[in-house]
Amino acid sequence: MNTIKLYLRSMAILMKCQFQYPVSFFLQTIGQLVMEGGEFLAVLLIVDRFDTLHQWTPGNLYFFFGMMSVSFYLTECFGRGVTGNFPNMVRTGQLDTVLLRPRGVLTQVLCSAIDPRRITCIAIGSAALVLGSRLSQVQWTWWKGLLLIEAIGMSMFLILGLFLIEAIFCIYSVKSVEMVNALTYGGRSACQYPVDIYPRPLRTLFSAAVPFAMTLHVPAACILDRSLYGWPSWTAFVSPLSGLVFFTAVYLAFRKAILHYRSTGS
């Protein structure tokens, strides 16, 4: 409970710092809006070019896009410390100070940064979700709402786990490894669309190795009253847990990597 209070207080302080320069914050937020709006425009162009994509209607595609955008940018907003601050902590030796404090390393890293500019990206994702559900004529029930929340929450764990992989590489290489972005930002771009439209190697990658299909696509298909793999509907509540399993495995690897850290020598 104390950790949660510490995190919330840190977020409040960081938010106050962000608003110290309102013009800069506003302009950068607009830039994020243009960027994510461009990605949504690409989906609109695909929908305009094709009536359906495999078994999916335009409304379905908007729904998938919205779920991925909300999940990814919520994680990036509150997990900015892992992607933005941690590599610099390793390079400058600031991680030494973090290790001396009576709090977990990941907790301190998460408390070190926030990126509220992503709120516009989250807003576009939310709008796509609403538009997709209306065009798909989703009949919302309490269990579908619960499934949506579970899918987004478990996807955030999955994405945070991917960010931690980059942090692990930083410990061993003392710098950020851009190759990992193929799984994080590349996975986000690819998995904005249903996984069954891709060839088998990519379906395997995003179903087993980096289980976006399990955490997002299976629940989304169930909410849309469709079937992705032909599985019974109850599996839609179980498959998102793969995101938590993935995060747990990567977190254990992260803790082991911390033991390898040897400071900068300064």
How many C-beta neighbours within 10 Å does residue 222 have?
A: 24
* The two three-digit tokens of residue 165, written as one number: 């992989």
pLDDT of residue 91: 83
- Confidence tier at 126 by pLDDT (50, 70, 90): very high
Indicate the SS3 state at residue 58.
helix
pTM: 0.90
DSSP 3-state helix, strand, coil percentages of the chain (rounded to 5)? 75, 0, 20
**Is the pLDDT at 174 greater than 70, yes or no?**
no
- Confidence tier at 261 by pLDDT (50, 70, 90): confident
- Confidence tier at 176 by pLDDT (50, 70, 90): low
Report the DSSP beta bridge partners of residue 56: 53
Most confident of 22-31, 89-98, 176-185: 89-98
**Is the pLDDT at 8 greater than 90, yes or no?**
no
**Is the pLDDT at 210 greater than 80, yes or no?**
yes
Provide CB contacts within 8 A for 117, sequence distance 6+: 25, 28, 29, 31, 32
CA triple 65-79-28, angle to 5 deg? 70
As a whole number, mean pLDDT of residues 64-87 equals 88
As a whole number, mean pLDDT of residues 103-120 equals 85
